[in-house]
Amino acid sequence: MLKKILLAGSAVTLLSGIVMGTGLWSYGRMAADKMTQSTKDLVPMEWEVDRARQMITDLEPEIAENAKRIAREKIATARLERQVDQASERLGDAQRNIERLSADLKKGDDRFSYGGKTYTSAQVRDDLSARWKRFKTQRETVDKLQQQLVARHASLDAANERMDAMLSAKRQLEVEVENLQARLSALRVAQTSSELNLDDSQLSRTRELLDDIATRIDVEEEVMAVDTQYFGGIDLDEPDQTDLLDEISAYFDNDDSEADQLVSIELVE
């Protein structure tokens, strides 16, 4: 019974250790990630932009090395092309000679003359057999060289495409890092403007003084305009030439006319 209890206790302890160990590992990993992120956030963004620009600059040796590899591959491919052309030319000559000897043997002659020398049909047949074996070997060699040439051309084309892609990506990274630099500079200017507390009291007092001066000038100009209009100005209207006696006669004549009209009205009624 005691042995079972000890085994059960050991199992529980081991299981707890595993669980706690797993929990502590996850907590430790989370803490490490947060610490890394916090440390990264403390690094000024200007430093990060400079670091990115330096990383772009560090691509140049790799690009230069790749350019050298492509150049060497071009030279090797050109050399292989010449080798294939020469082998193909020799193969063509061998094929024409074989066809010539075969045609001569088919004639059934006992002797044949080549290059000022005479050969029997057996000698020609042996020579043709040896030429045929060499021809087949040469043909296999040319086929393999052509396969190598095709593979080299494909590899060279792929390398050129990768180089173009790398150069294009480098130019894109340069544009992006300059864009980030411009955005960061604009951000810093905006932050500086928002944090800067300027004392504009002198500016306000100067503005107020200028407004007062402008108001006083407006008043003086208005006064001058009034003085000029009512005093000393030329009267453009004709003066009233009506005589005083004529005015009085006209007034009373008008009153008499109205009185006569009233009397006439009363008589009629």
Across 177-187, average pLDDT: 90
| 42-190 under CATH 3.40.190, yes or no | no
- How far is Cα 235 from Cα 233, in angstroms, rounded to an integer? 6
Lowest-pLDDT range of 27-31, 52-56, 106-110, 216-220: 27-31
What is the pTM (predicted TM-score) of this model? 0.51
DSSP H or E run through 154:
helix 121-195
Is the model's pLDDT at 232 over the cut of 90?
A: no
Look at residue 139 and give its three-state secondary structure. Answer: helix
pLDDT in tens, 36-71: 555 666 778 889 989 999 999 999 999 999 999 999
Backbone angles phi, psi at 231, to 5 degrees: -130, 120
- Enumerate long-range contacts of 76-80, CB under 8 Å, 24 or more apart: 76/152, 77/149, 77/152, 77/153, 77/156, 80/145, 80/148, 80/149, 80/152
**If you count them, how many residues does the chain have?**
269
Across 231-259, average pLDDT: 60
- How far is Cα 171 from Cα 164, in angstroms, rounded to an integer? 11
Across all residues in the chain, what is the average pLDDT?
Answer: 78
- How far is Cα 212 from Cα 223, in angstroms, rounded to an integer? 17
Backbone angles phi, psi at 236, to 5 degrees: -85, -10
User: What pLDDT, on a 0 to 100 scale, did the predictor assign at position 42?
Assistant: 73
* CB atoms inside a 10 Å sphere around CB 48: 13
Across 219-235, average pLDDT: 63
Beta bridge pairs of residue 120: 111
Domain residue spans of the chain? 42-190
